[in-house]
Amino acid sequence: MASQPRSWDLEVDLVAVGSGLGAISAALTACDLGAEVVVLEKAPKLGGVSGYGGGEVFVPDNHKMRELGIEDSEAAGRQYLEFLSAGFADPALMDKLLSSMKTAVEYMERKAGVKWICIEGLPDYYHPMVPGAHPGGRYLSVDLFKGAELGEWQHKTYAMTPHVPPGALHREMYAWGGLAKVTQWDYELIGQRISEDLRSFGPGMMGYFIKAAMVDRGIPAHVETPVRELVAEDGVVVGVRAERDGRDFNVRARRGVVLAIGGYDNNLEMARQFEAMPDWNSACPPYLDGDNLVLGGELGAAVAAVPPTNLAMFYGYNIPGEEAEGKPLFRSSWECGCPHAIWVNQAGQRFCDESFYKDYQPRLRAWDGQQQRMPNLPPFLIFDQNYRDRYPLGSFMPGQPLPEGLVTQADTPRQLAEKLGIDADGLEATLKRYNEFAAKGEDPDFGRGRSSWSRRLVGDLDYPNPNVGALDKPPYFGVRLVPVSVGINSHGLKTNADAQVVHVRGHAISGFYAVGNSAALLDLGAGYQSGTSNMRAITWGYIAGLHALGKA
Amino acid sequence: MPEVEYTTTAKLRVDTVWEFVKEMDNWAHFVTGYQSHEKLDETDSVWTLKGDVGVLARTLKFQVHVTEWGGPERVTFELKGLNEEMSGGGLLLIQSDDAAGAGSADSAPGRGFLARWIEAVFRFFFRRVHGAVKRAPAADAGPGPGVAKLTFRLRIEPGGPMAPMISALMRPAMVPAAEDLANKIMAHLEARQAGA
């Protein structure tokens, strides 16, 4: 913690640290209440992880559903989110989140011009397995955004991300057949949109937010300006010491500092200690260094946690030579949800519904107390020529040579197992059993195809069971997988229902707010559902902006 | 399909440029993203580059087949992707141009303002990443023994169902890459001549 500098380089009402949804939502809200605001971003581009992801915002009973006549209710939404939380949520925070999320999202449309559209037909993760889950309509995304509207920020924001297809909308992606039918998408249309810098998914969403803040309202933003310390006086946060062009840049914050810089995805030591998952990798840009915990820790902020068991953790791979944002690019493996692909452990045995990542995460964390090890790590993706004939591996299309150094190939399952170093008898037995049931479109062992979300997103709807198909056509292929985190961490700063950071002694630290993935997931507990991270970033950013300006 | 052409000039003899260009070992490391190359024979070579494909970088391996050694004026070639579905070709053209004006970038005709502007911005970031050479073309370079004009033309045609998307992703990166190769060759020869 820094003491007050002799002079401030800049004085504003609110400092938003970070430039993803949480920071920009807070900045917009405070600005609209008459506040002077500045945005400080460590990265060379604005947008944060929000601008690098899928751009789904999960809001039960949202206004776009209502416009389309899709029925839902707040009660059903609460029932579903309480199921997800598994009893680990703080009731006060969950209540505040649920009572504010629709207001916040609608505000961003009405005041900031964000063009939300409802992703029709995309079910909740647990539909139809649990009460309160919805068959489709709770996810919002944005309409295409014209990058040129960002003016000077056009090329200091993410125009696209390697994790989702550029220039396509969610509804188009599903209309074209989902991920399993990626060879049939309209690439002429996508190419045209790329040429015109028409953005979608996370980059498109952040385009709207950044335009509203930086272009329409003229809120100043500084990239490559990391905040190094918070400045406090008598326990109240009154500003920040940032670094800009190699020099201190001291900014006074008369009404508060909002920390919205994500978690510790790229801090391997924190990840190892907090997430207990070996071989950790991140799909996020390399700026999530755990600064939230360091900056807060220096002020005595409490750290809180939810179980890491079933948050958003994927498994995937790095194609040798592939890089993004100056580091190896790790892709989540969606292949395992398609027919003709499964996962096995080193015993050659399946252990989960591979098409549903909410099922595989906790099973990967299974612990063998006799052997003191996690028996399902590492998992191996196994597929056959049936798969190669139909579906891509990453961006490598059927018929295209597979990338060197990633995939192991063999003529028989036994030979493949031996090459991969897994139990050959086990793999042969697994394939024999899986294929017998696959012929009937069934998976009685782990229930592939049970989740309507999995069927819709990664399944091949030409199959009786979109997630099941036999592996019986040589050659056979295998890939050793590693964890790929997407920025949703189990530990974060403890906050209260006003988004204020809480001190280890239990009181709120005045002038200090944490939102988005910088704050612990106490509002949603042990659960995660695609779009909840963006939803809570918008909502808590909005709440922080209101509270800092005395309007909560 | 993305096709770019870039021409620059230098106060150099055509023969000087040709003697340098005809031996790929001389300038291979000037190619953007160069990792390695292997000469198979007089006309064929295998190249490994790290190429930008929109938001990510990927290792590209392709075979180059020279279709014409037209010294001292031209080399034409075809290329074929070995680990990616792509094909293409191009040429290096060396001409005497005593009346040459300033160097110019000129990619495929008919481009609109938006495309040119995107390329200009991309060029700015490209120079930050790759340290591309900025040099004065012959018109500003003072007296010398003559003026050579070096033109580099490159055409790449991605294959497979994603081809239109890959083309759109690659196009902005190809213009600064073509400029960079031509400028680095000329800058190297100018420096050598100045030091001689």
pLDDT tens-place string over residues A149-161:
999 999 999 999 9
Residue type, B111: R
| pLDDT of residue B107 exceeding 70 | no
Of the candidates B160, B165, B169, which has its C-beta nearest A400's C-beta? B160
Residues of B in contact with A194 (CB under 8 A): 54, 165, 168-169
Tokens 């659960």 -> residue: A527
Distance CA A513, CA A510 (A): 8
At residue B194, the pLDDT reads: 86
Residues of B in contact with A331 (CB under 8 A): none
B72-104 per-residue burial string, b: 16 or more CB within 10 A, e: under 16: bebbbbebebebbbbebbbbbbbbbbeebeebe
| pLDDT of residue A468 exceeding 80 | yes
A286 touches chain B (CB under 8 A): no
At residue B162, the pLDDT reads: 86
| Residues of chain B in Cβ contact (below 8 Å) with chain A | 50, 54-59, 82-85, 114-115, 118, 121, 124-125, 160-165, 167-169, 171
Which among A179, A185, A195 is the top mutation candidate for probing chain B, defined by the most B β-carbons within 10 Å of its own β-carbon? A195
Residue bearing the bigger pLDDT, B56 or A512: A512
Task: For Cα atoms A386, A389, A395, give the angle at the middle one, nearest 5 degrees.
Answer: 120
- Among A205-209, A229-233, B169-173, the range scoring the smallest mean pLDDT is B169-173
At residue B102, the pLDDT reads: 40
- 3-state SS assignment for residue A511: strand
Q: Name the nearest CA neighbour of A259 among A494, A29, A518, A39.
A: A518
Cβ atoms within 10 Å, residue B59: 20
Report the DSSP beta bridge partners of residue A303: A493
- Among A385-394, B15-24, B103-112, B145-154, the range scoring the smallest mean pLDDT is B103-112
Residues of B in contact with A185 (CB under 8 A): 161
- 3-state SS assignment for residue A32: helix
The pair of structure tokens assigned to A311 is 């948050």
Cβ atoms within 10 Å, residue A171: 15
| pLDDT of residue B55 exceeding 90 | no
Q: Using pLDDT thresholds of 50, 70 and 90, give the confidence band for residue B139.
A: low
The percent of residues above 70 in pLDDT, for chain B, comes to: 74
Distance CA A50, CA A307 (A): 23
At residue B131, the pLDDT reads: 60
A148 touches chain B (CB under 8 A): yes
The pair of structure tokens assigned to A232 is 């406090």
Distance CA A493, CA A487 (A): 15
| pLDDT of residue A519 exceeding 90 | yes
Distance CA A364, CA A377 (A): 6
B186 Cα to chain A: minimum distance (Å) = 30
- 3-state SS assignment for residue A54: coil
Residues of A in contact with B50 (CB under 8 A): 321, 323
Q: Using pLDDT thresholds of 50, 70 and 90, give the confidence band for residue B174.
A: confident
| pLDDT of residue A504 exceeding 60 | yes
Q: Name the nearest CA neighbour of A293 among A489, A107, A36.
A: A489
At residue A5, the pLDDT reads: 79
Residues of B in contact with A167 (CB under 8 A): 165, 168
Dihedral (C-alpha) B159, B162, B166, B167: value to the nearest 10 degrees? 70
The percent of residues above 90 in pLDDT, for chain B, comes to: 43
| pLDDT of residue A342 exceeding 60 | yes
B188 Cα to chain A: minimum distance (Å) = 28
Residue bearing the bigger pLDDT, B180 or A88: A88
The pair of structure tokens assigned to A424 is 């050959």
Distance CA A476, CA B60 (A): 25
| pLDDT of residue B135 exceeding 90 | no
- Among A207-211, A401-405, B48-52, B117-121, the range scoring the smallest mean pLDDT is B117-121
Residues of A in contact with B111 (CB under 8 A): none
Distance CA A458, CA A233 (A): 53
The pTM for the full model equals 0.90
Residues of B in contact with A181 (CB under 8 A): none
At residue B116, the pLDDT reads: 53
How far, CA to CA in Å, does B89 sit from each of B45, B66, B79? 13, 9, 5
A489 Cα to chain B: minimum distance (Å) = 25
Dihedral (C-alpha) A320, A427, A418, A333: value to the nearest 10 degrees? 0
Radius of gyration of chain A (CA): 23
DSSP chain B: --EEEEEEEESS-HHHHHHHHTSHHHHGGGSTTEEEEEE-SSSEEEEEEEEEETTEEEEEEEEEEEEEEETTTEEEEEEEESSSSEEEEEEEEEEE-TT--S-EE--STT--HHHHHHHHHHHHHHHHHH-------GGGS---S--EEEEEEEEEEE-STTHHHHHHHHHHHHHHHHHHHHHHHHHHHHHHHHH-
Contact A493, A501 (CB under 8 A): yes
Distance CA A353, CA A356 (A): 6
State the count of interchain CB pairs (< 8 A) between A and B: 81
Distance CA B166, CA A510 (A): 50
Q: Using pLDDT thresholds of 50, 70 and 90, give the confidence band for residue B2.
A: confident
A197 touches chain B (CB under 8 A): yes
Residues of A in contact with B161 (CB under 8 A): 183-185, 187, 397
How far, CA to CA in Å, does A462 sit from each of A185, A467, A468, A486? 16, 10, 11, 30
Of the candidates A148, A192, A404, which has its C-beta nearest B83's C-beta? A404
At residue A400, the pLDDT reads: 83
Q: Name the nearest CA neighbour of A277 among A309, A318, A317.
A: A309
Angle at which helices A91-110 and A532-548 cross, to 10°: 90
Give, for A544, the enclosing helix (H) or strand (E). helix A532-548
At residue B118, the pLDDT reads: 52
A402 touches chain B (CB under 8 A): no
How far, CA to CA in Å, does B82 sit from each of A390, A402, A448, A518, B171? 21, 11, 37, 44, 20
Question: Are A400 and B121 an interchain contact pair (Cβ–Cβ within 8 Å)?
Answer: no
Distance CA A103, CA B179 (A): 52
In chain B, the N- to C-terminal Cα span, in Å, equals 43
Residue bearing the bigger pLDDT, B57 or A531: A531
| pLDDT of residue A10 exceeding 80 | yes
At residue B130, the pLDDT reads: 55
A167 touches chain B (CB under 8 A): yes
At residue A250, the pLDDT reads: 97
Task: Name the residue in chain A with its Cα closest to that of B114.
Answer: A196
Give, for A146, the enclosing helix (H) or strand (E). strand A145-146
Mean pLDDT value across residues A512-531:
96
A393 Cα to chain B: minimum distance (Å) = 13
Question: Are B50 and A321 an interchain contact pair (Cβ–Cβ within 8 Å)?
Answer: yes
Task: For Cα atoms A174, A395, B55, give the angle at the middle one, nearest 5 degrees.
Answer: 95
Which among A158, A176, A189, A194 is the top mutation candidate for probing chain B, defined by the most B β-carbons within 10 Å of its own β-carbon? A194
At residue A264, the pLDDT reads: 97
Segment A65-98, tens digit of pLDDT:
999 999 999 999 999 999 999 999 999 999 999 9
Is the previous residue joined to A378 through a cis bond, with omega within 30 degrees of 0?
yes
Segment B108-134, tens digit of pLDDT:
444 454 455 555 555 555 555 556 566
At residue A376, the pLDDT reads: 97
A412: exposed, middle or buried (C-beta count within 10 Å: 0-12, 13-18, 19+)?
A: middle
- Among A191-205, A471-485, B149-163, B168-182, the range scoring the smallest mean pLDDT is B168-182
Contact A7, A20 (CB under 8 A): no
Contact A319, A479 (CB under 8 A): no
Q: Name the nearest CA neighbour of A299 among A241, A238, A255, A235.
A: A235
Distance CA A305, CA A312 (A): 15
Question: Are B57 and A197 an interchain contact pair (Cβ–Cβ within 8 Å)?
Answer: no
Task: Name the residue in chain B with its Cα closest to that of A160.
Answer: B55
Question: Are B162 and A192 an interchain contact pair (Cβ–Cβ within 8 Å)?
Answer: no
Segment A46-58, tens digit of pLDDT:
999 999 999 999 9
Task: Name the residue in chain B with its Cα closest to that of A192.
Answer: B168
Distance CA A521, CA A491 (A): 8
Residue type, B35: Q
* Mean pLDDT of chain A, nearest integer: 95
The percent of residues above 70 in pLDDT, for chain A, comes to: 99
Distance CA B152, CA B154 (A): 7
Segment B24-43, tens digit of pLDDT:
899 999 998 899 999 999 89
| pLDDT of residue A60 exceeding 70 | yes
Mean pLDDT value across residues A447-471:
95
At residue B123, the pLDDT reads: 54
Q: Name the nearest CA neighbour of A357 among A390, A319, A309.
A: A309
Contact B84, B70 (CB under 8 A): no
